[in-house]
């Protein structure tokens, strides 16, 4: 097996947060972001959703390692005095290393710097790992949106609405 192939099969390196770069998502990043998204979710955002978010001026961010590998991304919408966390995801092979927490903290800091009063998000009940992460950051469930998310065979899944004061 070549060194290149063995590197492909090895466990990705865990970078310290200080070695990582958070930068605005650019249209050139969208194909990579959409590719990661499609591997993570049954009903992923499309490349168009990400492009539209950038073009609308949402705070879209990518997390890049020193080798210029895209590890994760987030999308935050600011409206009047509220922030809405629309998407935060980390490539599967890089999960469990604190990168998702790093992105969430970045979004919280960004919303506070913009003088937002609260942050909202929706999460699927079938994604308890994400809901627990949000709870660790001080988000509390405030409502349920019935049939919010698409599911199999035309069915719909509820969304847990979570809120955090800033």
Q: What is the CATH number of the domain that holds 17?
A: 3.40.630.30
What pLDDT does residue 12 have? Answer: 74
Q: What is the per-residue pLDDT across 101-160, written as a single tens digit (0 to 9) for each? A: 999 999 999 999 999 999 999 999 999 999 999 999 999 999 999 999 998 888 999 999
Q: Is residue 133 part of a domain?
A: yes
Residue 3 lies in a domain: no
Distances from the Cα of 72 to the Cαs of 37, 50, 59, 152, 155, in angstroms? 9, 13, 14, 26, 29
| Predicted TM-score (pTM) of this structure | 0.89
Domain that holds residue 152: 13-165
If one counts the domains in the chain, the total is 1
How far is the CA of 46 from the CAs of 38, 52, 78, 94, in angstroms? 8, 10, 21, 21
Mean pLDDT, range 15-30, rounded to an integer? 94
**Residue 143 within a domain:** yes
Domain membership flag for residue 1: no
User: In this structure, is the dihedral angle defined by the CA atoms of residues 78, 55, 110 and 113, taken in order, positive or negative?
Assistant: negative
Measure the CA–CA gap between 108 and 91, rounded to whole angstroms.
21
Domain contains 72? yes
Q: Is residue 2 part of a domain?
A: no
Q: Mean pLDDT score of the chain, rounded to an integer? A: 92
Is there a domain that residue 86 lies in? yes
Q: Which of 33, 31, 155, 147 is nearest to 86 (CA)?
A: 33
The total of other beta-carbon atoms located within 10 Å of residue 62's CB is 21
The count of other CB atoms within 10 Å of the CB of residue 126 is: 12
CA angle 114, 124, 162 (to 5 degrees): 40
Q: Would you state the pLDDT for residue 10?
A: 55
Query: Does residue 6 lie within any of the structural domains?
Result: no
Residue owning tokens 């995801």: 89
């Amino acid at each position: 097996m070549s060194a290149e192939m063995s590197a492909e099969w090895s466990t990705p390196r865990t970078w310290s947060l200080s070695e990582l770069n958070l930068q605005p998502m650019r249209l050139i990043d969208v194909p990579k972001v959409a590719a990661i998204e499609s591997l993570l979710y049954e009903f992923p955002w499309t490349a168009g959703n990400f492009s539209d978010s950038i073009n609308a001026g949402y705070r879209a961010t990518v997390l890049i390692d020193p080798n210029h590998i895209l590890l994760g991304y987030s999308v935050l919408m600011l409206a009047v005095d509220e922030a809405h966390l629309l998407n935060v995801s980390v490539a599967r092979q890089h999960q469990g290393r604190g990168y998702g927490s790093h992105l969430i903290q970045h979004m919280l800091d960004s919303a506070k710097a913009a003088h937002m009063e609260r942050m909202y998000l929706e999460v699927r009940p079938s994604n308890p790992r994400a809901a627990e992460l949000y709870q660790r950051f001080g988000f509390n469930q405030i409502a349920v949106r019935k049939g919010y998310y698409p599911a199999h065979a035309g069915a719909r899944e509820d969304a847990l609405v979570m809120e955090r004061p800033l």
